[in-house]
A and B are shown apart, each in its own frame.
Chain A
Amino acid sequence: MPLLKDGNLVGEDAWLSVADDAPLPEDRPALISHARWQADKEQLVGRNAPVGIRLPNTVDVLDFGPEAGRFDLIVLEFPKFSDGRAYSQARLLRERFGFGGELRATGHVLQDQLWHMQRCGFDAFEIAREDATQAFAAAMRSFSHVYQPTGDGRVSALKQRLAATRKQEAAE
């Protein structure tokens, strides 16, 4: 399935998804399940190569969040596009726990949800489309303004208006 990172197609995913009972590769970034992380935590913290984690959308990020910094990749799941729990998980990871690694959306990822995902902090998307880059580019052109402040750095309408008023007042 095509993988987009920051809007560009990633030729080959550097991450190896490792089954719960398989050994971890020594020299390659390994993606593990949340269950494995909980079971083998002691062992995994000593590992040199990067570790990524796949977080089910039923995990309470307030519990997991303090450990987020140990990972270079967190994969969040959309079992159906209409199941929006991972939007909140993403914002909490980015904005509450300061997660700076790759935040990847997987599952039922559709063009018309990419704008929301990107606003919530996702920067990578597994999207089942041949024209994934065009779909992403189109989605990013959806809106020129935003009403809500999120961690994506866009300036909210409210802040834009206040800045405009202050500028005007300063000029007077």
Chain B
Amino acid sequence: MYQYDQIDQTLVDERVAQFRDQVARRLNGAISEDEFKPLRLQNGLYLQLHAYMLRIAIPYGTLSSRQLRALAQIGCKYDRGWGHFTTRQNLQYNWIRLEDAADALADLAKVQMHAIQTSGNCIRNTTTDQFAGAAHDEIEDPRVWCEIIRQWSTFHPEFSFLPRKFKIAVTGSPNDRAAVRVHDIGLRMHRNAAGETGFEVIVGGGLGRTPFIGKTIRDFLPRQHLLSYLEAILRVYNQFGRRDNIYKARIKILVHEIGIETIRDKIEAEWQAIRDGALKLPQEAIDQIAAHFAPPAFETLLGGVAPEYANAFRTDFEFGLWARRNTFKHKQPGYSIVTISLKKEGEPPGDMKAEQMLAVADLADRYSFSEIRVTHEQNLVLPHVKQSDLPALFKALKAYDLATPNVGLASDIIACPGLDYCALANARSIPIAQQIALRFKNWERAHDIGELKIKISGCINACGHHHVGHIGILGVDKNGEEFYQLTLGGSADQDAALGDILGPALDTAQTVDAIDSLVETYLRLRRNSDERFLDTYRRVGLQPFKEAIYAAA
């Protein structure tokens, strides 16, 4: 993992001091709320429906056990004893007092964490594959590049007042687990004909009011040019992105309006002017950062299945279910990647109690080289677990309600905070997620249905990624009542697609029933149990699903 040096630590400490001073100036009236708002936002502090909310950056979703413990402690000390993991691999506290905010940030700084640029019209936390550095299908560890981007984007003097927020995602694997095609910039690592690694650069993806799948602006960018190319994109966007309408200010709209060819010409011309300048990355500098991400001291294990694992798989049915759904193939023989579901049926997706955080921190120390990851699907990951330790880990997780065997299944729902917390929402998300998840509590049915990604947003801003859900649910307000519009066939993976609208919006009870009917329709139509919901939908189209929901009406 990346460890701060004196420079990083000084900057984060100075940021806390700066924010403390800004809060003091706000409280003594030297600056107005209008002037203070962007300052607090650039430190992650929102005023939400009920209170101030503090959004903590978890850079590219990577946490140490020490950091997770600190998050638990801060949650107890300044909040109500829990936190909420978001779709951007961050953590939110819902009830922070303004007068405590600088103290909370100071506590975070002690464990090399911060809330810098988690809001505001600036470059946000870079996200990546939660399996980075562990996945068997990885070409190169994307965390190295995320950290290089983190440093470049932190307090960037030119790009702190962009037309709108700006999100970058990186994947180092051909199987995209970072949704790079729905970000302002997506970076996909791959090899060119000469065998060198570099980036496919994708721009203008995004969800929200006007969703777009990103377009490739450059097929192959050599690694040493990453920062100059990003700077060229941001410079063009900062100058030419629309500022007259907040809903048309993202780079996706600029790309759409002037066209990918025109924007490519502008960016490439800008890049030619700076590519060999101060941003060009010397190999030594890349190596220095990469050294932080050296693999942990894996044991050399023989091939084949560990006897403890094989035995538990045979004799413990629940363990078998969990191991099938919640573990993923590691690049190191004898190890597995474990996803910890924060989606126990009936619980708010992504919420985690302080005692659960402390337990996972201990388990990470014991079983995963003290490393934890946060996924954009609002779960946690222990990236490096010996297969022989899986049965013991499962047992320990179960004691904390953290062993729900549902990763990728119907109850593993992404949901934004919705109207229960969010000042922007039109409808609630979490209660719908809770009710739907309970419908799929029966393990036999849930596992038979197989992979099904349900994603819920409480408003058009699409924090719950509904456009790219196999089933997407969008909350709308109809004359003061909550209604939900369904979309089908979206995907955030390497085959990214936006969902198609199924029909008129439904009320809460109808929505929960409709999800059941959609699933029953799929089960009836699928060719075999290997054909996923998404595959069946792509094969048969919208019509049979539409009939199943609306024909009776």
Contact = CB atoms under 8 A, between A and B. Distances in A.
So, do A and B actually touch in the complex, CB under 8 Å? yes
Interface of A: 60-61, 81-85, 87-89, 91-92, 96, 110, 112-113, 115-117, 119-120, 138, 142-150, 156-158, 160-162, 165
Interface centre among B8, B162, B238, B239 (most CB of A within 10 A): B239
Interface in B42-99: none
Given A88-B239, A147-B151, A81 B5 contact: no
A88 B14 CA distance: 25
A44 to B, nearest CB: 26
A147 B158 contact: no
Q: Which of B22, B156, B279, B282 has the most CB of A within 10 A?
A: B156
B38 interface: yes
B183 to A, nearest CB: 21
Nearest to B239: A88
B7 A81 contact: no
A66 to B, nearest CB: 13
A162 B156 contact: no
Contacts of B284: 162, 165
B159 interface: yes
Given A84-B162, A88-B239, A162-B282, A143 B152 contact: no
Please list the 4 inter-chain residue pairs (A to B) with the smallest Cβ-Cβ separation, ordered nearest first. Answer: A84-B161, A119-B157, A149-B278, A116-B157
Contact of B11 (A81, A87, A145): A145
B282 A112 contact: no
Most buried by A among B7, B15, B151: B7
Interface residues of B, number: 39
Given A82-B38, A165-B288, A87 B157 contact: yes
A162 B161 contact: no
Residue among B8, B158, B162 with max Cβ neighbours from chain A (10 Å): B158
A144 B8 CA distance: 10
Interface string B266-303: 00000001000111011011001000000000000000
Chain A interface, DSSP helix/strand/loop, else mixed = helix
A144 B157 contact: no
Given A84-B121, A157-B8, 14 more contacts: A60-B239, A84-B160, A85-B243, A87-B158, A87-B161, A88-B158, A120-B158, A143-B155, A144-B11, A147-B156, A149-B278, A150-B158, A162-B284, A165-B284
A156 B227 CA distance: 13
Contacts of A156: 278
Contacts of B5: 161
B10 A112 contact: no
Nearest to B14: A143
Given A82-B121, A161-B285, A162-B288, A147 B152 contact: yes
A85 B273 CA distance: 19
A134 to B, nearest CB: 12
Interface in B440-466: none
Contacts of A146: 155
Interface of B: 5, 7-8, 10-11, 14-15, 18, 21-22, 31, 35, 38-39, 121, 151-152, 154-162, 235, 238-239, 243, 273, 277-279, 281-282, 284-285, 288
Nearest to B35: A110
Contact of A149 (B7, B154, B159, B279): B279
Contact of A88 (B7, B11, B21, B238): B238
Nearest to B25: A111
A149 to B, nearest CB: 4
Nearest to A156: B278
13 contacts: A61-B239, A81-B35, A81-B38, A82-B121, A84-B238, A87-B158, A87-B160, A143-B11, A143-B155, A148-B152, A157-B8, A161-B288, A162-B285
B285 A144 contact: no
A144 B10 contact: yes
Contacts of B281: 158
A150 B157 contact: yes
B85 to A, nearest CB: 27
A83 B161 contact: yes
A139 B243 CA distance: 27
A59 to B, nearest CB: 10
Contacts of B243: 83, 85
Nearest to B162: A84
A88 B274 CA distance: 14
Contacts of B22: 112
A69 to B, nearest CB: 18
A146 B35 CA distance: 24
Nearest to B160: A116
A165 B288 CA distance: 9
Contacts of B152: 147-148
Contacts of B15: 143
Contacts of A88: 158, 235, 238-239
B7 A112 contact: no
**Which of A60, A82, A91 lies at the interface centre, i.e. has the most chain B CB atoms within 10 A of its CB?**
A82
B6 to A, nearest CB: 9
B39 A112 contact: yes
B116 to A, nearest CB: 11
- Most B Cβ at <10 Å: residue of A88, A120, A142: A88
A82 B121 CA distance: 8
Contacts of B162: 84
Nearest to A117: B157
A125 B121 CA distance: 23
